[in-house]
Structure formats: C-alpha cells, structure tokens
A = this chain, B = another copy of it.
Amino acid sequence: MAQIREYVTDNAGEFFEDLKDWLRIPSISSDPDRVADVRASAEWLAAKLRADGFPVVEVWETGGGAGLPSVFAEWPSGDPDAPTVAVYGHHDVQPVTPLELWQTGPFEPTERDGRIYARGAADDKGQIFFHTLGLKAHLAATGRTAPAVNLKLIVEGEEESGSPHFAALLREHADRLACDVVVVSDTGMWAKDTPTSCTGMRGLIAAEVDFTGPHGDVHSGSFGGAIPNPITELVRVLAQLHDAERKVTLAGFYDGIVELSETDRELIAKLPFDEQEWLGNAKSTAAVGEAGYSTLERVWARPTAEINGIYGGHTGPGGKTIVPSEAHAKLSFRLVAGQEPTEVAKAFEMWIAERVPAGITAAVRFEGEGVRPCLTPLDHPALQSVSRALGRAFAEDPATPREILYTREGGSGPEADLQDVLGAPVVFLGISLPDDGWHGPNEKVDMDLLLKGAEAAAHLWADLAEHGLG
C-alpha cells in the first residue's frame, strides 16, 4: 500500500504538467464559439487515455447536433469475478467572465501556494485527471497489467450547459456502460484536514403558479374591497406552504422519505461546522428552517419548498391604485430519497386546486419532469470501499485508514440519471474544497489533494476487487 503513495509522489511532476496542458484548452460548453475547443478537449483526453493503455477509447457524439462530445474508455480486468465500475466526470468548463477578476488567465494554468489556478482545475478536469495517475499507481502497486476491476470512464462534454442530452446518451449506450457501481468525481470534501465522501444529492421539481382575478387591471377606488385581488389571494395561499414548524404542507410530502438515522445524525454532528461562517457564505443573518433539524440536516437531508420569484400588478416606480389582474409565483421543491418529482408535482397541483379562492382562475405549470434525488446508504459495500480508500489516502500510514466523515449535496445534478439509467448505486470520490471557486473567478485546485485523489482511486480499485459489492 505504501507503494501507491510512492508511485504517486514520484510521478506527480509529469501529472501536473499534463493536467496543465489539458486546462489550456478553453472547453466552455455554453459558448457557441468554443464548440471546437470542447471537441479538442475530448480528443486530448482520448489520446491521453489511449497512451495510458486503455484498450477501448471512443469519442461519443451527443444528440441535438450540439457538437459537445463525451469520452468513453474501458479497460477490462480480465478477472471474470471482478466488479465493474463506471467513473463519471466532465471535461467541459464554465464561462470565465468577468475576466478582470482573474489574477492570472483562466486558460493559463498557474501554480501559486501549492495550488493550480485555472478554469476547470477543480470542476472538473483536475478530478477526472487524478484517475489517470491513480490507475497507473494501482497497476504499479499491484504489479497487474490490467486493473483489478473492470474500469469504465464516461466523461461528459456538456455538464456545464445543463446536460441536455446526457440521459439520452446514457440510454443509447446503456449496454456499454453497464456497471455495478458509479464513482462520481465531480464533488468535493469538507476541508483539507477533514476527508469526506458525499453520499447523496437532493432532487428537484420546479413549478410556476398563475392566479388571475379581474380579466384586466381595474380601479381600486371603484372596485377595491369588493372583488378578489389575485396578489392578496396568492399571498394567502402561499403563506400556507409551510406550517408553524416550517414543514411543507403538501399532502403526503414526507411520506416514505428516508429519514436520517441516529448514525447519520451523529456523523453529521461530528463535522467541524461553524454556523457563523456558513451564514456568511449564505449571505444571511439567521438560520431558519424545519423544526427539529440542524442547518446541515436541513440543506442535505430535508426536502424544501422555496419561492424563487414572485410578480404581479404594478412593479414599476411609484404607486398605482389598481386591483391587478394577475399574480405569479415561481417555486421549486428540493427532494430527498424516497420522493418522486412527478409525485410531488401532482401533490402541488392538488394543493393549489384545493385552495383556489372564489373569483380566481389558477394555472400550475412545471419545468420538465424534475431531477430525482439519490442517496447511497452508509453501509453500502461500495461506500465502505470508498471510505476505506479515502481513509488510506489521507492516513499517515495507508495500512491504518483514518476515519472518514460524510457529507451530502443540497443541490441536484445529473448523477441521478446515472443511478436511474444504469441501475447502479452512485458513490462520490471528490477532493475539491468549498473555496475552490467553482463557476467563479480564480478557480483553483489543491495539488496535494489531487495526489490524495489519485491515491484514493488506486486504493479503491483494489478494495472493490477484494471486498466485492455482494
């Protein structure tokens, strides 16, 4: 096991130089002028994987003619009992405006204080790239010519554009991507000295509600006080969205959700959480939410109903004495394991229908079919393997793994598609830090942690082969 660290350390220099080459390609998927760069990024990665020895490397076109290809690579173990692992990440990056806030060019990777600064350094090229070093360390340490697991890589090219064709691509190539577990390397950990693995993400369903009262604005002097005002009525309805304990009042909203176990709560409580610092990041002055849960529990493990926007009547300067014709609200629900976006959509439609007041016409629309939540239980064999692999990578002596803690992701992502389409549990192996500047200026990645990521990957393949996914 010590050999892994030795190999990683010995080959770190070349690894960082290669990563910087990749980071120089401005693969911004949302910028139509960068389509060729996204393709160049895919081709660069494909060439690198071929050079590393992957027997199968393919550049996959996605639907819709967007020209933002994914890279698929496969390296069979040769062992008929070996589990099959699919590693997910993406090679496209976010836009870089406002450029003037960058200390050095976003596509001129620069080392400062043990970090590499560049767009994509952490999100997500760096975290895909540590797998190349990890795999070679795994081969070197085990003396094998093929990995101990059947290894597949699927590296997307349009994640930063909302993955519009990714689910279709997964379905199209479901047989090629068939696997026992998905390892997502597109997240982070709690802190440099607190290694963690993410165990799940919240789902999402977004809705818009329209309330129409009079079929045109009318004079509030002539009619005010005697006809329903759609803003007043919408406000009266939406005020019922949460009860006094800040629980969401949709019928059946909490039915069947995976509640936090005592162990889950103890492990979350072990994280060195500074609520004042967190509130600073939340730009807020008070932590408010569902009664009976801590702040981290609320954002990680509890579903929510959020009003993202509201508008109606006169919104320009000054006053206007009208009973307005319309009022609108945009809402989104974050969901946790056990909730189905389509079920919540139905419950919300019914919730509104039951509350439409006299004289008001209501309409409810949903944005798409939503995103399903995902959660891998702490006792799942794959998560146990990830924990041990991370524990070894971050231990003084890899033979004695240190304790790993667990986070969740309050947001929602295409990881749920992987879980659903491939029918495999999702685990997370990520080393980015909360202040790495994802989507912002001066994105960076910690170079020590990239090497820890490589070590963890090397340990993980051996561990999964040894313990299986029984």
Q: What is A's interface to B at a CB cutoff of 8 Å?
A: 202, 204, 206, 208, 213-216, 218-229, 231-232, 234-236, 238-242, 279, 281-290, 295, 298-299, 302-304, 306-315, 318-325, 327-330, 332, 334, 357-359, 367, 409-412
Contact = CB atoms under 8 A, between A and B. Distances in A.
Nearest to A285: B359
Contacts of A322: 308
Nearest to A215: B283
B224 A304 contact: yes
Complex A-B, nearest 7 residue pairs according to Cβ-Cβ distance, in ascending order:
A221-B411, A286-B359, A239-B239, A225-B304, A309-B313, A309-B314, A214-B283
A239 B235 contact: yes
A172 B321 CA distance: 30
Contacts of A288: 226-228, 357-359
A226 B312 contact: no
Contacts of A303: 225
A229 B321 contact: no
B286 A232 contact: no
Contacts of A309: 231, 312-315, 320, 324
B307 A313 contact: yes
Contact of A299 (B222, B239, B329, B367): B222
B325 A224 contact: no
Given A224-B306, A288-B359, 13 more contacts: A206-B319, A220-B308, A221-B409, A221-B411, A221-B412, A223-B284, A225-B299, A225-B306, A227-B279, A227-B287, A235-B307, A283-B325, A318-B367
A282 B226 contact: yes
A322 B238 CA distance: 17
A361 B49 CA distance: 54
Contact of A320 (B213, B279, B330, B409): B330
A220 B306 contact: yes
Contacts of A202: 221
26 contacts: A213-B284, A218-B282, A220-B332, A221-B411, A222-B410, A223-B410, A225-B299, A225-B302, A226-B287, A227-B282, A227-B288, A228-B288, A229-B306, A232-B238, A235-B235, A235-B238, A235-B307, A239-B239, A308-B314, A309-B312, A310-B310, A310-B315, A315-B315, A315-B330, A319-B330, A321-B411
Nearest to A304: B225
B214 A282 contact: yes
Copies of this chain, tallied across the complex: 2
B221 A410 contact: yes
Contact of A319 (B221, B287, B320, B332): B332
A425 B159 CA distance: 73
B284 A359 contact: yes
Nearest to A230: B307
Given A223-B410, A410-B221, A324 B299 contact: no
Contact of A330 (B313, B330, B357, B409): B313
A318 B239 CA distance: 23
B282 A321 contact: no
Given A306-B220, A308-B220, A214 B284 contact: yes
A219 to B, nearest CB: 7
A286 B228 contact: yes
Residue in A287, A327, A328 whose Cβ sees the most chain B Cβ within 10 Å: A287
A303 B226 CA distance: 11
Contacts of A287: 226-227, 359
A259 to B, nearest CB: 15
Contacts of A367: 318-319
B313 A310 contact: yes
A465 to B, nearest CB: 35
B242 A239 contact: no
Contacts of A411: 219, 221-222, 321
